[in-house]
Amino acid sequence: MKMTTEINTQDWQQTFIATNLLAIGYNAWVGYLGGECGVVICSTNSPHLSIAGETFKAHFIPRKNLAAFLNSWF
């Protein structure tokens, strides 16, 4: 069996998180400093590529709003 170092296109999430960890962490920290626990949601539907790299929308969703957010999303 030959091992390969190619990145599986179906496994892009790990690379996305590693590449954008500072932006994701910043959004989480700002939300936490606001006095809330919650999650960071990243929209990857239509990322924009610019000279600075890929841009995407990230939102902090407080725990109290998470159920409503997920219900409307699904």
For the chain, give every domain's residue range: 14-73
Give 26-35 pLDDT, tens digit per residue.
999 999 999 8
What whole-number distance in Å separates Cα of residue 10 and Cα of residue 46? Answer: 17
pLDDT over 90, % of the chain: 36
Radius of gyration of the chain (CA): 15
Give phi and psi for 2, each to the nearest 5.
-90, 130
CA 42 to chain centre: 4
**Confidence at residue 61, expressed as pLDDT on a 0 to 100 scale:** 93
* Per-position pLDDT tens, the chain of length 74: 455 555 566 678 888 888 889 999 999 999 999 988 999 998 877 666 677 667 788 899 999 999 999 999 77
* pTM of model > 0.85: no
